[in-house]
Amino acid sequence: MTRARREWSILTTGGTVRWGGDARRQYIFRSLASAAGAREVHGFSIETLRGAFPPTDERVVAGPRTVASAELLGANALGVLQDRVELAVVDVHDQPLLHLETLGITVDQQRREELTTLFERNMSCFKFLVAQSKTFAEISKLDGARVLFAPNGTDTVSMPAAPLPHAQTVGMASGAAPGRGIENLIEAVRALRSTRGDLRLFLWLVATGDESQHYLDGLREQARDADWITIETVPFESMGLAMSKAFVLCVPNPPTPYWDGVLPIKLADSMGSGRPVVVTPRTEMAAMVESARAGVIARGDSVDDLAAAIDQVFAHPHKAHKMGRSARRFAQKELDWRVISKRLAREILDRIS
């Protein structure tokens, strides 16, 4: 008897995009859903999955029920799905324990073991793994034979590029947390103001949890008397308009193995906005900026290195405009979510017929 065509389901999120991670979860498998005629299941909880995937009725002759998940799944959810569907592909956009450690967040032994087990269980259950870069796959110890690559992206359609402002302005968009280079950027701009007195810094920061909110509140208190710093929390859909205030955008991630492997969404958004970017010499970020001719890579990780790279952009305005245009073109061609999603869908369907 001929089996029916494969039945795809995409586990994703719906609703408002609060920050970049939400955008990735919504976009990454969108082309796969379209190409495979898949249904979307909004949510990753065991209750949602039990309702969406009732036990198979063996009397019905049907194609395999196949799942792609835009998020790592909990142990209970995996236990339910393993008996009911083929777990085809999961987006490994994060290594939770490495990420927390990189941000300097204390993780007790019990939580460390839980996160390690969660990660390893997902890696063993899903057939294919999506990673944002080769370096990220290596530091996360993913099985290279099963890895598909999809960098973080941006929505260049919803983020039209405005002309660079005449004002000397520096900007950074980020989740609010230590370990992201925010403090170094503040000090770099402070140092540059000795020669560029009109220089201003825009920080668009969003709290992603209680500890993050505590950090953001403390940062605002520290910056209260610095009238050249503006700290705002901007809705994700308004980020393009906010970024248009900046002449140069920065992604100053500090030196850690985790940041070497990450291609932050804020980098893709910064390039999509048509601004020259300044980045620290993290492996994957530096390679992308160099390939796109989109900005300046700091020579090192000190405040002086970062300040020198920012100053270089302002010192050569003609080159700055050219870098901004190159950044925008690269984002449209390589980093738009539609491009990334379509490329990934083709690769998945080539491997899973």
The CATH number that applies at residue 82 is 3.40.50.2000
The model carries a pTM of: 0.92
Q: Is 338 helix (H, G, I), strand (E, B) or coil?
A: helix
Helices (H), the chain: 20-27, 30-35, 46-52, 75-82, 96-102, 109-125, 134-139, 182-192, 210-222, 239-243, 257-261, 265-272, 283-292, 303-315, 317-330, 337-351
Shared domain for 298 and 342, answered yes or no, is no
Q: How many domains does one find in the chain?
A: 2
Local confidence pLDDT in tens for the 353 residues of the chain: 344 578 999 999 877 666 667 889 999 999 999 999 999 999 999 999 999 998 865 444 456 789 999 999 999 999 989 889 999 999 999 999 999 888 888 888 999 999 999 999 999 999 999 999 999 999 999 999 999 999 999 999 988 889 999 999 999 999 998 889 999 999 999 999 999 999 999 999 999 888 889 999 999 999 999 999 999 998 888 888 999 999 999 999 999 999 999 999 999 999 999 999 999 999 999 999 999 999 999 999 999 999 999 999 999 999 999 999 999 999 999 999 999 999 999 999 999 97
**What is the distance between the alpha carbons of residues 104 and 99, in angstroms, rounded to a whole number?**
9
Give the DSSP letter of residue 336.
B
Return all residues near 331 (Cβ < 8 A) that are at least 6 apart: 154, 156, 268, 271, 272
**The one-letter amino acid at 186:** I
Question: Would you say residue 125 lies in a domain?
Answer: yes
Beta strand 39-42 pairing with 7-12: parallel
Question: Would you say residue 160 lies in a domain?
Answer: no
Question: Would you say residue 2 lies in a domain?
Answer: no
**What is the distance between the alpha carbons of residues 287 and 284, in angstroms, rounded to a whole number?**
5
Tokens of 160: 């039209």
Q: How many helices (H) and strands (E) does the chain have?
A: 16, 12
Range of the domain at 103: 7-153+337-351
